[in-house]
Amino acid sequence: MFDTLQDRLQATFRNLRGKGRLTDADIDATAREIRLALLEADVNLGVVKEFVAAIKERARGAELSQALNPTQQVIKIVQEELIEILGGQARQLRFAKHPPTVIMLAGLQGSGKTTLAGKLGLWLREQGHTPMLVAADLQRPNAVNQLQVVGGRAGVPVFAPEPGNGVGNPVEVARASIEEAKRKYYDTVIVDTAGRLGVDAELMRQAADIRDAVNPDEILFVVDAMIGQDAVNTANAFGEGVGFDGVVLTKLDGDARGGAALSIAKVTGKPIMFASSGEALKDFDLFHPDRMAGRILDMGDLFTLIEQAEKTFDAEQSRKAAEKIMGSGDFGLDDFLQQMQAVRKMGPMSKILGMMPGMGQYKDALGAIDEREIDRIEAIIYSMTPAERAKPEILNGSRRSRIANGSGTTVQDVNGLVNRFMETRKMMRQMGKGGGMPGMPGMGGMPGMGGMPGLPGRPAKAQPKKAAKGKKGVSGNPARRSGNPAAASAPEQNGPQTEADMQQAMADFQLPPELQKMFNQGGKGPFG
């Protein structure tokens, strides 16, 4: 999402790197590039002007002149202003003091209201609520049937007393749904209303009648993110005619520009409350402006990644697997398969890796990841005996040939999987002992994060250095080499000390050779 905007902003910031001091000309050039990037992203012109003006004002003030690294401070200013135009902070649903809470969905035809009703119902059910969907879209062909199908997949009951297809009164259906919810003790009612191909008087009148009939606690305006700033015009027209409390962005995964997301909250004054970023029912969550700003600036979205991992992974199972890796050493392919399947439940591998900081430079590699490779890995492991999975070391030539025939793969595929697994296990054991990750200097062991300054953990073992005879060793501290005693006496810093340093470290981050090797296999899977 927002790939085009992300690429433009990254190119702009790269031009600033290496400059110890920014002149007015540098600031003007950067502001001009940011302005062009936002206009290309189809962001509302008024929002662009206000955004660029705020950046220029802050960049010329004491905020930048007093910064240790002005370039990183500019990035920080852009991030904060992005968060501001995206809404500032996440807004939670308002629930009624006396159930049921009524949520009304409105929007144009094709914006994804019906599917979103199922996603919102599933999300509420996972939060511990008892939602009910209401089929109040009686105009669009098969709208009622579609809602029933979506509700069935989400495990949420659907109230549909009328068949639809032009038959029935949507206002009466909406009014009857409240009594139905009270009678069956549903605490949330989600009303799916009809859309039109454009904002017209009939749409406004019907939406207003439904609003008056059910008195909703929340009116959510559903917007297709791919239509750009035109979504703002539609939202303004609907806001004047009916009114709404929050915005839901759909099809965010297909939006490469970001015009709707970066415009609608600022122009309408209403927060973006939810975002839908895929076709699956679980591709839906609260909209967090700070996390979205981080994604746009290629800083990753680790909070969302952690939340998804917490929902997916079995904590006890993961603890036992970690103990096997770090301690007993009997971490086998069965354990590996369990963890891989848990990761797969989080979503597509490209999407998961895309939440990591600095992965914008690997867009092409992430897009080329073949999800079917995981199916082939599963087939290979399932073709092994329990003893072979527990101890891959016993796999000789004949066993590997049998496994290849049983899984429909080649001996080379089996060899690739086993070799990669052995390398990964070795690397994880090294990290567990505090030896750091190969290819990433300064990184200590993962459990205690030893090697990172200010954090506890077991540091890596120091390797003794042997100086050549007759030659004085050269210090790795530049201050010592220059003969500055004050600087030489200061302790050497092994990693980022400030937020700005951390951002620079994220920008300069390079994948370790092991992962680079995975991405550079020319279409081969990650394990062979």
pLDDT at 491: 37
Rounded CA-CA distance 437/511 in Å is: 11
Rounded CA-CA distance 504/71 in Å is: 9
Strands of the sheet with 284-286, listed across from one edge: 158-159, 131-135, 188-192, 101-106, 218-224, 246-250, 272-276, 284-286
Q: What is the mean pLDDT of residues 13-18?
A: 78
Query: Do 528 and 415 contact (CB within 8 A), yes or no?
Result: yes
pLDDT at 405: 92
pLDDT at 365: 66
Residue 527 pLDDT grade (very low, low, confident, very high; cuts 50, 70, 90)? very low
**Domain spanning 3-85, CATH class:** mainly alpha
pLDDT at 432: 61
Which sign does the torsion angle of CA 106, 110, 112, 117 carry?
positive
Find where tokens 């929007």 sit.
107
Query: Do 258 and 296 contact (CB within 8 A), yes or no?
Result: yes
pLDDT at 326: 61
Which of 181-185, 403-407, 467-471, 509-513 shows the lowest mean pLDDT across its residues? Answer: 467-471
pLDDT at 469: 44
Residues 6+ apart with CB under 8 A from 278: 253, 347
Q: What is the mean pLDDT of residues 123-147?
A: 92
Nearest Cα to 409, choosing from 374, 379, 370?
379
pLDDT at 108: 84
Residue 134 pLDDT grade (very low, low, confident, very high; cuts 50, 70, 90)? very high
Asked whether residue 247 carries a pLDDT value surpassing 80, the answer given is yes
Exposure string over 501-515, b if 16+ CB within 10 A, otherwise e? eebbebbeeebeeeb
pLDDT at 364: 64
Most confident of 85-94, 229-238, 315-324, 439-448: 85-94
Rounded CA-CA distance 81/52 in Å is: 9
pTM (two decimals)? 0.66
Residue 217 pLDDT grade (very low, low, confident, very high; cuts 50, 70, 90)? very high
Alpha helices in 346-432 (DSSP H): 349-354, 363-367, 372-382, 386-390, 397-407, 411-432
Question: Residue 438 is which amino acid?
Answer: P
Q: Name the pairing type of β-strands 246-250 and 218-224.
A: parallel
pLDDT digits (tens, 9 = 90+) for 82-132: 999 888 888 889 999 988 999 999 888 888 899 999 999 999 999 999 999
Q: What is the rounded average pLDDT for all residues in the chain? A: 76
* Distance, first Cα to last Cα, the chain: 30
**Number of C-beta neighbours around residue 68 at 10 A:** 11
pLDDT at 495: 41
pLDDT at 280: 85
Residue 178 pLDDT grade (very low, low, confident, very high; cuts 50, 70, 90)? very high
pLDDT at 167: 85
Cα–Cα distances (Å) from 165 to 33, 40, 51, 161, in that order, read: 50, 41, 46, 13
pLDDT at 282: 85
Return the CATH superfamily for domain 307-436+512-519: Signal recognition particle, SRP54 subunit, M-domain (1.10.260.30)
Query: Do 510 and 75 contact (CB within 8 A), yes or no?
Result: no
Per-domain residue ranges of the chain = 3-85, 101-297, 307-436+512-519
Q: What is the mean pLDDT of residues 28-44?
A: 88
Residue 42 pLDDT grade (very low, low, confident, very high; cuts 50, 70, 90)? confident
Return the CATH superfamily for domain 101-297: P-loop containing nucleotide triphosphate hydrolases (3.40.50.300)
More confident residue, 508 or 223: 223
Find where tokens 């030896």 sit.
435
Nearest Cα to 294, choosing from 223, 248, 367, 360?
360
Peptide bond just before 70 cis, omega within 30 deg: no
Cα–Cα distances (Å) from 129 to 74, 102, 125, 220, 248, in that order, read: 43, 13, 5, 18, 20
HSE-CB at 127 with a 13 A cutoff on CA atoms is 16
Find where tokens 């086993």 sit.
418
Rounded CA-CA distance 406/382 in Å is: 9
Residues 6+ apart with CB under 8 A from 304: 285, 288, 291, 355
pLDDT at 525: 44
Query: Do 150 and 117 contact (CB within 8 A), yes or no?
Result: yes
At residue 434, the 3 state secondary structure works out as coil
pLDDT at 104: 94
pLDDT at 1: 65
pLDDT digits (tens, 9 = 90+) for 376-435: 888 999 999 989 988 888 999 899 999 999 999 999 999 998 888 888 777 777 766 655
Give me the percent of the chain exceeding a pLDDT of 70.
69
Rounded CA-CA distance 353/360 in Å is: 10
Question: Residue 131 is which amino acid?
Answer: P
Asked whether residue 158 carries a pLDDT value surpassing 50, the answer given is yes
pLDDT at 494: 40
Rounded CA-CA distance 326/458 in Å is: 13
Rounded CA-CA distance 351/300 in Å is: 11
Which of 65-74, 218-227, 443-452 shows the lowest mean pLDDT across its residues? Answer: 443-452
Query: Do 358 and 512 contact (CB within 8 A), yes or no?
Result: no
pLDDT digits (tens, 9 = 90+) for 274-323: 988 888 888 888 898 888 888 888 776 676 777 777 666 666 666 666 66
Rounded CA-CA distance 286/89 in Å is: 11
